[in-house]
Structure 1
Amino acid sequence: MTKAFYSIVLVFTLVSLSAFAQTIDLRGTIADQAGKPLVGATVLIKQIERGTQSKTGGVFSLTGVPQGKHLLEVRLVGYEPAKQEIAVSPSSKNEFKFVLKQTAVEMKGVEVTASRRKQEQSDTRTSILTIEPRDAKFKAGAAEDVLRSLQTLPGVVAPNDFSSQLIIRGSGPDQNLIIMDNIEVFNPYRLYGFVSMFNPETVSGITLMTGGFPAKYSDRLSAVLDITNRIGTKEKVFTGMANISLTNANLVLEGALPFWETSWIISTRRTYYDLIAGPIAKASGAVDGDIALPNFRDVQAKIAFSPFDNHTFYLNGISSRDNTELTSGATRTQADSISIFDKSFNDVAGLTWVWSPSTKLITTTTLSYYQNTGANNFGGEGGSNSLFGDTVTRESLERIQDSLRKLGLEVPRLYSVEGSTSFNFKKTSIKSDISWNATTEHLIEIGCAIDFITTGVDFEIIFDPRLKALRASNPRIAALPESFGTSIDYLRMNIYAQDNIKITKDFTIQPGLRFDRFEIIDRSYISPRLSASYALDPTTTLRGACGIYYQSPGYEKLFDRQVFLDLTTSAVQTLKAEKAMHYILGIERMLTPEWQIRVEGYYKDFDDLILQEKLKGTNYRTERIEGNDVTKREGWTAPIAYEGDSLTTTPINNATGKAYGVEFFLQKMQTAGDNPFYGWLSYSYGFANRYRDGFTIPFNFDRRHNLSITGGWKANSWLDVNFTWSYGSGFPWTKPVGVKPRIIQEKDTVTGMNVAKIDEDWRGVVFAIDRGGDENLNQARLPDYHRLDIRGTTYAEWFGWKWSFYLDIINVYNRKNILSENYNINRETLEIETRQTSMLPILPTIGFSVKF
């Protein structure tokens, strides 16, 4: 018995030792079909119950795999699972490459496995936020728009209800780098900013880096938004879907071709409320002639094909148009009138080549062309509110004018403006990126790019003298010449290198270095950057980052900035690129497999900010004459000239700034279990100031408190309910400090010289709002903002097609959130009366989608 026992033990020991001696270590990479490495994918061999996750660069390693045949499975949320039969032996390379196919946005909820981490612990990137395409499509109040779906994330502020722009950590939208399929786009907005160019039905990846981004990104001070569009299905020759709402239609068609593993996808969108509302407005007499209320259409296409092993090519194309045409009707009721003819285009073409000669090396080369052009003519008369204290009818204005004309008094006229503008931005780029997994401890990334940029701007605007004076009295209005025309050609070039270094099992750093050449200012810059992550335990990660960031001037950045700069002047020769220093520290913890929490602090130091130059010029003031009627010219002295500051369009590095704060993010992930609730809570506490000429001026979108609660409830297999509640403390605003006579300059009919005079109408002196100087700029606050949005989506399957129907209600309790304040002067008391302009009221929309 004892001999038998020892014999059995010996046999099992020998077998075990033999098996141990024959185990092999596997290595490989996981990427999407665009060649982008995928982090956090699960790699599993079920037979031996061994698994791991892909790390930075999409790299995975699996140790102790016995020799023989196994089934290797790879899974990642948002991608179709991949399986591969592998033969493991000491004589083979035992290196494997997986390319995961992105899934389309499904009609029903995407189930997120509870074991999935949002970010691998060895990923050193700070301030990174990712959302699923489904979040962009189904988020309440987001109008199925990608950019709007990001506005409830930590550090992100929406400027107002009408804009999809992103204000990130105290920086303007012009300081955000926006990339789509490896192509930088200057103007990602449609409908004049109300929605974005990104189609939620075709987007596969949405990554926002709100600070501390690595060296591979450049020419922006604040943040990076990286959007990836999916490729078409390879499973069917033809399939598609349509989405119809009250305001627009969206059609997506896709399929496969029988050669080179080719797939294609094409989508088109068109707003059509203009086709309905336009004829109604015309029939009412509000407008005349052929009209087109604001509308847009676009076509997007992507083709993927692999003619050779390890070589994949992607062709991208986008063509879009925004259009508005309207003229106030001759039989209109209101006295104010407007005429607008505006048309703009956005076109993108790109070819990307992804080559993977081995599992350790991926190269991505992109050749792209981008063009954004537009032209408009406009004119009109307005300001009845300012002149009469209320909006007047056309009939009332004509009656007043006739009466005063008969009395021989000056006839009041509305403010008038007319003009035309055009712009043309072109960019041809070639860029190449190499990702080399040199060892298990080093992932090296290097790249270079060159951009050939042409920017042209032309405009001519005619303001009447009273409107000029009105503009001059408001310090929030930037200087603008009445005529301008130029075209500038210049290059941007860059080279970068960064290395993700695994110092220990728990500690990873990523140093990076970047060289930029900005030909427009004939300057070069070097930007060092560093990020690090430390795994305190398997569920807790500490991350930090710091770095230097530069942004060059350019006309293509001025639309987001809403300030005109003349980049043709000699001042450009001494201009420097704007600069920011980022310092970020954060901690993240998985409380449970479903709950994640993150707290992050940031500090940004801005330098060499570019503003309009102030020059000493001639201003005018008048003083009250005691005892005389202040509503008459006799109650004031003649205008007295004095030396004052005058804004010009010349650019100058004359401001600094700071933005700092702390952010809190709590997320409940959607899971495949019995818990139907998911969503997140985001809170930011921040400060953002600019410093110029000895004054501290709050940033236009400085918001002290910003809170968002976004949630969803999967009630059952056919119903989803989503909600979003947002709160924000008031934005800075410049309140009036008093009233003063308006002083205008008119040409003397005898001398031909401009003469300053107090403006008068039939009632006497015309008064203007006095907003003070720089010391008063942005020192007050608008009221706080809050809004609740709710969306319900129901699903069905009819005729073999998948259907979804939704009801989305924006601003459920009809909160009157204030967009701006306008001020009128009461002629009787000379007191200032405030008129507030509200944002969106309660707004229900309905729509449906069908997948065929």
Structure 2
Amino acid sequence: MHLNVNKIILVLVFFWATALTFGQNAKIKGIILDEKQQPVANVNITASGGATQSNDNGYYTIVVPSNQKVTVVFTHISLKKITVTLTLKPKEDYELNLVMKNQEEQMGEVIVTSKNRKRVQGITSIEPEMIRKIPGANPGVENILKSLPGVNSNNELSSQYAVRGGNYDENLVYVNEIEVYRPFLIRSGQQEGLSFTNTDLIQNIDFSAGGFQAKFGDKLSSVLDITYRKPTQFGATMEASFLGGSVAVDAISQNKKWTAITGVRYRNNSLLVQSQETQSNYTPSFADVQTNINYQASAKWQWSFLGNISQNKYQYQPLTRQTNFGTIDSPMALSIYYEGQEKDKYDTYFGALKTTFKATENFTLKFIGSLYHTLEQEYFDIFAQYRLGEVDTNIGSETFGDVAFSRGIGSQLNHARNDLDALIVNTEVKGFHDWKENQVEWGVKYTRESIRDRIVEWEVIDSAGFSINPPVVILPKNDQPYTPYTGPLVPYQNTRATNYNTINRFSGYAQWSRKGTLGSSEVWYNAGIRMHNWEVSGADITSKSQMTISPRAQFSIKPNWQKDMVFRLSGGLYHQPPFYRELRDAAGVVQPDVKAQQSVHLVLGNDFNFKLWNRPFKLVSELYYKSMTNVNTYTIDNVRIRYDASNNAKAYAQGLDFRLNGEFVPGTESWFSFGYLKTEENSNNRGYIARPTDQLLKFGLLFQDYMPNIPSVKLYLNLVYNTGLPGGSPSYADPYLYQNRLKDYRRADVGFSKVLIDKNTKKIASGWFKDFKELAIGVEIFNLFDNQNAITNTWVRDVYSKNQYAIPNYMTTRVFNIKLNARL
């Protein structure tokens, strides 16, 4: 049943109408750094009779009169004064970030027009410092994204996320304008190890959950756009914990033309995995090296190189497991004894060369070439013998808590020998033209994907001595165990395929943007179009060339009201041409003629800036609807996606997102988010059912605090609540017959940090500590309330009663971690 759009609009109007008023002033805010790119606290900022100070993170905000010249003065006890003259418009929210040097600087007069680019485009910006501090079992950019409305995940061991009804393959990720990829074969979150993006190297993070511009690529759900920083002087950051460690080094040449930032990371998830119910010998090894090198050849020409080498080794030897379930009156348990092991290996190599040429003041060209190579293997032979029965609840019994009476016994053997070798090459040219209030952008890109893939995996299930036939086999008569089965024994699941494929792609875009006025209101327009042409080739297959055209547009208006509001309307036609995984069906066979999935986006949004407790706050609300055709249906098992490799369905997604963020505690940013989502699909006209990512309700809280009397003691809280996903059905089950949902996902991670050295204490640090600019030690508690969250169900058959029992596969329990952070 579709959501009543009129009701949603009324809710939006209610929130907007009850907001507070904002005066005919402007606001200046920003971050103040020193020459070593470190935040400067206690900077005195004065302007037109008003005064404020920067906090420990270098952040400040000050309200100034509009439509007149304002002189802003920045002073610090150990740094030289900076003076800036600005002219701002009414309700202007101007960002001014400064570097205070050892020599006094008098900046010229700045005539400012509206520069709220990200605000009018519906882009969410995240501070890198927040990402480094907020606790999470899988820290990084994705850890923060999962607290945003419309972004959902029920797996703390995974860096994957679903956005507004899409799946993990529908999200674009860029680093320095270069598209990055993730491994193909990973099926479990605990196998992922490290996300591509290195938090220690990040300068800027932008995220869009829908309705994005034509310059971004051909995906259906979201865009994560990350920019790595350029060092201004030598520096280093270090982090160490029970889960691993990282080191990042900033370097710069004497002539300032060469800069480089390099990061090394190591990750070991043993602490988390050993908290699960399955007792195992687990020896993972996740490591990578990443570098970003920049060369300023001249005032007009700049070169950069981004490189990454990563190696994930996953060795897993399960031993035993017992999962208790059922009710108080009828407690049951599943006991499993394992033999065998799993050995997986994922090696990835990534390199990208980018050059920027500023031909004139208004015309810039960019050339980008990148190469991504992944070598993946997935080998396992795991034999499991299980007992399903009633639990001994007699206190004092020697078998208390164990299975006392077996209702079902059986065994299961899983085997795989999967290998994949993928090489992806990209070349791209981009152009940027500025002309008065207009901006024109265009780009042309060629991509070649070469895939060599071998799949050999099967599963045999035995229940009480009877081999279970696969669900796709229809027997003429089956009354086991009363009548023996005399047909051939076949695996319950069996996939064997070898694919050598090449995909050639040509894509391009052109878009126009303009800012201006409409009456007394400020407006911003954007319109663009994308083209994508591709063809799949390989042994014994032929494919026709396919092409898509995707027009997109955005419109924003800032009314001349006392309230500081921006309204946005964006949307268009979005396509997702199939990647290799979307071409491969459940049997492992490539279907070359799979069409691009198509989605019509419509997003209505509002940003409202206001003051509460005399501190800045922002309420962001968005109403969205997506109508999808040529849908390629899929199932999700942990993080592994299996496609039907056909376009036999249509779907829709609709919802409402809210995010309230601001200084709930003075000098810190926190936010609360809420999302409502409904997404359904109709396959072969059988009727609408919930899609695998139908996350009905989502609540997120990201909170920062400190002790008033001891500000060096800080607290960080990351809390997420999601209603259950429809992921509780047996593998390969008909989704129209099974619509089971998992239990609600509840997760709270908290971190406590004691700052030993920072800007305020480094002057008194001596001896070995004198070179540290920052030193902090902290304690993290993952899954604070020890909630039992299930990622999937294991289905066990009772031959005698012919019942199937859903045994939840629980995620991690409460875990403690100690972390040390240092900055030189």
Q: TM-score, normalised by structure 2?
A: 0.72
Whether 2:492 is the aligned partner of 1:500: answer no
* 8 A contact 1:121–1:541 mirrored in 2: no
Task: Give the length in aligned residue pairs.
Answer: 657
Q: Give me the CA root mean square deviation.
A: 4.2
Distance 1:603 1:212 in 2: 10
Shift in Å, 1:775 = 2.9
Whether 2:414 is the aligned partner of 1:417: answer yes
Distance 1:191 1:786, change over 3 A: closer
Distance 1:658 1:154, change over 3 A: same
Shift in Å, 1:837 = 2.7
* 8 A contact 1:665–1:682 mirrored in 2: yes
Paired AA for residue 738 in structure 2: L
Distance 1:807 1:612 in 2: 40
* 8 A contact 1:789–1:812 mirrored in 2: yes
Structure 1 counterpart of 2:232, from 216, 231, 234: 234
Whether 2:369 is the aligned partner of 1:367: answer yes
Paired AA for residue 586 in structure 1: G
Question: Secondary structure of 2:191's match?
Answer: helix
Distance 1:827 1:653, change over 3 A: closer
* 8 A contact 1:697–1:777 mirrored in 2: no
Task: Give the equivalent residue in structure 2 for 1:748.
Answer: none
Shift in Å, 1:121 = 6.5
Structure 2 counterpart of 1:300, from 285, 290, 299: 290
Whether 2:307 is the aligned partner of 1:312: answer no
Distance 2:145 2:712 in 1: 26
Question: Secondary structure of 1:651's match?
Answer: coil
Task: Give the equivalent residue in structure 1 for 2:313.
Answer: 323
Task: Give the equivalent residue in structure 2 for 1:598.
Answer: 620
Task: Give the equivalent residue in structure 1 for 2:460.
Answer: 464
Distance 1:838 1:846 in 2: 24
Structure 1 counterpart of 2:647, from 647, 653, 668: 653
Shift in Å, 1:494 = 1.4
Task: Give the equivalent residue in structure 2 for 1:257.
Answer: 253
Task: Give the equivalent residue in structure 2 for 1:514.
Answer: 530
Whether 2:566 is the aligned partner of 1:541: answer yes
Question: Secondary structure of 2:645's match?
Answer: strand
Distance 1:733 1:263, change over 3 A: closer
Paired AA for residue 624 in structure 2: Y
Question: Secondary structure of 2:146's match?
Answer: coil
Structure 2 counterpart of 1:682, from 635, 660, 673: 673
* 8 A contact 1:512–1:529 mirrored in 2: yes
Shift in Å, 1:149 = 1.4
Distance 2:340 2:473 in 1: 23
Distance 1:147 1:80, change over 3 A: farther
Paired AA for residue 807 in structure 2: R
Task: Give the equivalent residue in structure 2 for 1:804.
Answer: 776
Task: Give the equivalent residue in structure 2 for 1:841.
Answer: 813
Whether 2:272 is the aligned partner of 1:247: answer no
Question: Secondary structure of 2:121's match?
Answer: coil
Task: Give the equivalent residue in structure 2 for 1:482.
Answer: 495
Distance 2:349 2:660 in 1: 39
Task: Give the equivalent residue in structure 1 for 2:139.
Answer: 144
Distance 1:828 1:565 in 2: 32
Whether 2:694 is the aligned partner of 1:702: answer yes
Distance 1:377 1:257, change over 3 A: same
Task: Give the equivalent residue in structure 1 for 2:41.
Answer: none
Structure 1 counterpart of 2:380, from 375, 378, 387: 378
Whether 2:341 is the aligned partner of 1:339: answer yes
Structure 2 counterpart of 1:813, from 770, 775, 785: 785
* 8 A contact 1:567–1:650 mirrored in 2: no
Question: Secondary structure of 1:134's match?
Answer: helix
1:374-453 aligned at under 5 Å gives the runs 374-385=376-387, 414-439=411-436, 441-453=437-449
* 8 A contact 1:301–1:317 mirrored in 2: yes
Distance 1:484 1:794, change over 3 A: same
Question: Secondary structure of 1:308's match?
Answer: coil
* 8 A contact 1:809–1:843 mirrored in 2: yes
* 8 A contact 1:807–1:847 mirrored in 2: yes
* 8 A contact 1:435–1:446 mirrored in 2: yes
Task: Give the equivalent residue in structure 2 for 1:588.
Answer: 607
Paired AA for residue 654 in structure 2: Y
Distance 1:148 1:474 in 2: 43
Structure 1 counterpart of 2:751, from 784, 787, 791: 791
Distance 1:587 1:76, change over 3 A: closer
Distance 1:518 1:48 in 2: 62
Structure 1: which 5+ runs fail to align? 1-43, 50-61, 89-93, 97-115, 397-410, 614-647, 737-768
Paired AA for residue 545 in structure 1: S
Distance 1:814 1:367 in 2: 47
> CA deviation digits over 1:387-427, x for unaligned, max 9?
x7899xxxx9xxxxxxxxxxxxxx99732232311112211
More helix by share: 1
Q: Which has the larger Rg?
A: 1
Shift in Å, 1:818 = 2.9
Question: Secondary structure of 1:732's match?
Answer: coil
> CA deviation digits over 1:108-146, x for unaligned, max 9?
xxxxxxxx99x81685423x2221111211113354321
Shift in Å, 1:385 = 4.2
Whether 2:202 is the aligned partner of 1:203: answer yes
Higher deviation after alignment, 785-794 or 799-808: 785-794
Distance 1:828 1:463, change over 3 A: closer
Task: Give the equivalent residue in structure 1 for 2:164.
Answer: 169
Distance 1:518 1:490 in 2: 7
Whether 2:578 is the aligned partner of 1:553: answer yes
Task: Give the equivalent residue in structure 2 for 1:5.
Answer: none
* 8 A contact 1:565–1:612 mirrored in 2: no
Task: Give the equivalent residue in structure 2 for 1:719.
Answer: 713
Question: Secondary structure of 1:816's match?
Answer: coil
Structure 2 counterpart of 1:154, from 149, 165, 172: 149
* 8 A contact 2:496–2:587 mirrored in 1: no
Shift in Å, 1:664 = 1.0
Task: Give the equivalent residue in structure 2 for 1:692.
Answer: 683
> CA deviation digits over 1:135-183, x for unaligned, max 9?
2111133543211111010100013222221110000011111112222
* 8 A contact 1:810–1:843 mirrored in 2: yes
Paired AA for residue 222 in structure 1: S
Whether 2:168 is the aligned partner of 1:178: answer no
Distance 1:828 1:449, change over 3 A: closer
1:718-737 aligned at under 5 Å gives the runs 718-733=712-727
Distance 1:517 1:725 in 2: 43
Distance 2:159 2:140 in 1: 8
Paired AA for residue 610 in structure 2: L
Give percent identity, aligned residues only.
Answer: 19
Distance 1:361 1:46, change over 3 A: farther
Paired AA for residue 442 in structure 1: N
Paired AA for residue 692 in structure 2: N
Distance 1:85 1:361, change over 3 A: farther
Distance 1:348 1:588 in 2: 38
Distance 2:585 2:700 in 1: 30
Shift in Å, 1:453 = 1.4
Paired AA for residue 659 in structure 2: F
Shift in Å, 1:724 = 2.2
Structure 2: which 5+ runs fail to align? 1-44, 51-66, 72-81, 87-93, 321-334, 393-398, 400-407, 475-490, 537-543, 636-641, 758-764
Question: Secondary structure of 1:519's match?
Answer: strand
Shift in Å, 1:270 = 1.3
Distance 1:226 1:831, change over 3 A: same
* 8 A contact 2:214–2:528 mirrored in 1: yes
Task: Give the equivalent residue in structure 2 for 1:627.
Answer: none
* 8 A contact 1:689–1:699 mirrored in 2: yes
Shift in Å, 1:773 = 4.5
Paired AA for residue 124 in structure 2: L
